Chain A
């Protein structure tokens, strides 16, 4: 197998782990690939580097390629999402002032009850809530909208983009009252006493896809051999990451200077699902806080592309069916099947599903027998039906 060097972009977050582990533990080398990991500072930069060909592939927020597909980004060649890299990993934090008000109101900071947390938040927010998210097109923005739209805040709810490393500062200086961000940046806010953790993203939506492996369509279709090798290397890294005994090691690796450059003790919290929710050191266990593999996490369900596209179409006045079709085309379930089947990966019978329909782990038909999918219900019980005929 010939050696092939690929530049891969990532942002310093714990869910960059699949790319870092693929490189550091030799999963890429096994496939004859040499990965040059490029640390980036913003999602816009990540998109621009991929769009101009400065990097071959990137870790990206799942809704980002969807936004490109529906025409809400700059004019770049089409992007495709090859597989999901992670699920969950987000947390909602509130400012120290809101924390005090919530405690005075008797809220217990259980971290897993979206209904109680929302009710308490509405009582103390006095009709005004500014919430930070990392990017306009992010799973975080979707979670916040799901959770708080229609809660009665009306125009009092505003959502602002804040770069993750600056979230804690924005909370401390009162730029925002709360935020939803991926780890370790929520824990970082707790560590700097800027706020407290109120809720896990997974409590709002059972299976929120968070990051994906994205490349240009021209590369994915033009260089199928290399694309396949990269997907298999990353898939194996994801499987390794989901073994509980590997999470501590993973925290050590991603925390190194070259990657997150933060104390491993901080990255470890999200990876182990053991979060300190307040500056006083109260701990909440949240098993499966972030997932990389189990429950077919990596399969890029087209129905999820449709779900994000539909919400964007509504918000930006686009044609909803057309947006859904464009978005579904960039979630490459075909490449996932083609390139991962040979690695012995089990594949679901369908490429789309009703989103939010499962409250319990559910067995579905797959090539090798039965595949167990994790619960994916939304806290409000609403489901999303994609247009199956168009999938």
Chain B
């Protein structure tokens, strides 16, 4: 089987490396990473890849749309199309956050292992991104709650446990989150000092 030429458009080096790792495991292919999005259309046209993989949310995707069109049905060899071979696969890819542009005429059985590998990697990134955001938010909230506790301890002469109890009781009474009440208290205290 001839090797396929695959381009991965990804600015983040770490992410790009992981995607390449995943693709290598899926078979012996020639993989190129493009990290710089300037002149993207020109560079891809020059390389004439079989498959281009890019984050669904990358603004530069619209540039690839143009490539998929310009060549049109008359110049099949460089015509790139959003993969039409397998609707379910396309959907899975988009949900995982990766879009694939595939040269027209490439056999579905050759595309599938590559897309599967890409989907698995992108899925992992999405999970990591969500976890990172959640951890960050939790840390932020913890900090605010600590500050609110300190304010209460000082203003009302409470110990730490009592201060937290007061925050929690207020939150329950008002059907709000502890972090929201803490936020309001910190803001109000800021205005008063």
* Residues of A participating in the B interface, judged by any CB pair closer than 8 Å: 40-45, 48-49, 52, 54, 72, 74-75, 134-136, 160-166, 169-170, 173, 175, 316-317
* Distance between B11 CB and nearest chain A CB, rounded to angstroms: 12
| Chain B contacts with A in 54-91, Cβ cutoff 8 A | 56-66, 69, 72-74, 81-82, 84, 87, 90-91
Contacts of A173 in B (CB 8 A): 38
Cross-chain contact A52 with B59 (CB below 8 angstroms): no
* Residues of B participating in the A interface, judged by any CB pair closer than 8 Å: 37-39, 41, 56-66, 69, 72-74, 81-82, 84, 87, 90-91, 94-95, 99
Cross-chain contact B94 with A48 (CB below 8 angstroms): yes
Cross-chain contact A135 with B62 (CB below 8 angstroms): yes
Report the nearest B residue to A72, measured CB to CB: B69
Contacts of B61 in A (CB 8 A): 41-42, 44-45
Q: A41-B58, A41-B59, A166-B37 are in contact. Are A161 and B72 (CB under 8 A)?
A: no
The residue from A45, A165, A175 contacting B39, defined by CB atoms under 8 A apart? A175
Cross-chain contact B39 with A74 (CB below 8 angstroms): no
Interface centre among B39, B58, B65, B74 (most CB of A within 10 A): B65
Question: Given the complex of chains A and B, what is the CA–CA distance between A161 and B59 in angstroms?
Answer: 11
Question: Given the complex of chains A and B, what is the CA–CA distance between A134 and B84 in angstroms?
Answer: 24
Contacts of B57 in A (CB 8 A): 40-42, 45
* Distance between A95 CB and nearest chain B CB, rounded to angstroms: 15
Cross-chain contact B91 with A74 (CB below 8 angstroms): no
Q: A135-B65, A160-B41 are in contact. Are A42 and B58 (CB under 8 A)?
A: yes
* Distance between A364 CB and nearest chain B CB, rounded to angstroms: 36
Contacts of B59 in A (CB 8 A): 41-42, 163-166
Contacts of B82 in A (CB 8 A): 48, 74
Report the nearest B residue to A162, measured CB to CB: B63
Report the nearest A residue to B69, measured CB to CB: A136
The residue from B39, B63, B69 contacting A163, defined by CB atoms under 8 A apart? B63
The residue from A43, A45, A54, A136 contacting B95, defined by CB atoms under 8 A apart? A54
Question: Given the complex of chains A and B, what is the CA–CA distance between A249 and B182 in angstroms?
Answer: 31
* Distance between B81 CB and nearest chain A CB, rounded to angstroms: 8
Query: What are 25 residue pairs bridging A and B, where the CB atoms are less than 8 Å apart in the complex?
Result: A41-B61, A42-B57, A42-B58, A42-B60, A42-B62, A43-B62, A44-B62, A44-B99, A48-B82, A52-B90, A52-B95, A72-B69, A74-B81, A74-B84, A75-B84, A134-B62, A136-B66, A161-B41, A163-B63, A166-B37, A166-B59, A173-B38, A175-B38, A316-B72, A317-B73
Contacts of A317 in B (CB 8 A): 72-74
Contacts of A54 in B (CB 8 A): 94-95
Question: Given the complex of chains A and B, what is the CA–CA distance between A327 and B64 in angstroms?
Answer: 24
Contacts of A162 in B (CB 8 A): 63
Question: Given the complex of chains A and B, what is the CA–CA distance between A41 and B94 in angstroms?
Answer: 14
* Distance between A312 CB and nearest chain B CB, rounded to angstroms: 10
Apart from A163-B62, A175-B38, A317-B73: 13 A-B pairs, beta carbons within 8 A: A42-B57, A48-B56, A49-B94, A52-B90, A52-B91, A54-B94, A74-B81, A75-B87, A135-B62, A163-B59, A165-B59, A316-B69, A316-B72
Question: Given the complex of chains A and B, what is the CA–CA distance between A135 and B66 in angstroms?
Answer: 7
Cross-chain contact B65 with A161 (CB below 8 angstroms): yes
Contacts of B81 in A (CB 8 A): 74
Report the nearest A residue to B81, measured CB to CB: A74
* Distance between B83 CB and nearest chain A CB, rounded to angstroms: 8
State the 5 A-B residue pairs at the shortest beta-carbon distance, nearest first: A163-B59, A161-B66, A74-B82, A42-B61, A44-B61
Question: Given the complex of chains A and B, what is the CA–CA distance between A66 and B87 in angstroms?
Answer: 21
Cross-chain contact A44 with B94 (CB below 8 angstroms): no
Contacts of B95 in A (CB 8 A): 52, 54
Question: Given the complex of chains A and B, what is the CA–CA distance between A40 and B94 in angstroms?
Answer: 13
Report the nearest A residue to B87, measured CB to CB: A75
Report the nearest A residue to B73, measured CB to CB: A317
Cross-chain contact B90 with A74 (CB below 8 angstroms): yes
Report the nearest B residue to A134, measured CB to CB: B62
Contacts of A49 in B (CB 8 A): 94
Contacts of A45 in B (CB 8 A): 56-57, 61, 99
* Distance between A74 CB and nearest chain B CB, rounded to angstroms: 4
Contacts of B94 in A (CB 8 A): 48-49, 52, 54
Report the nearest B residue to A161, measured CB to CB: B66
* Distance between B6 CB and nearest chain A CB, rounded to angstroms: 19
* Distance between B137 CB and nearest chain A CB, rounded to angstroms: 15
Contacts of B91 in A (CB 8 A): 52
Contacts of A74 in B (CB 8 A): 81-82, 84, 90
Contacts of B69 in A (CB 8 A): 72, 136, 316
Cross-chain contact B56 with A136 (CB below 8 angstroms): no
Interface centre among B59, B61, B81 (most CB of A within 10 A): B59
Cross-chain contact A44 with B64 (CB below 8 angstroms): yes
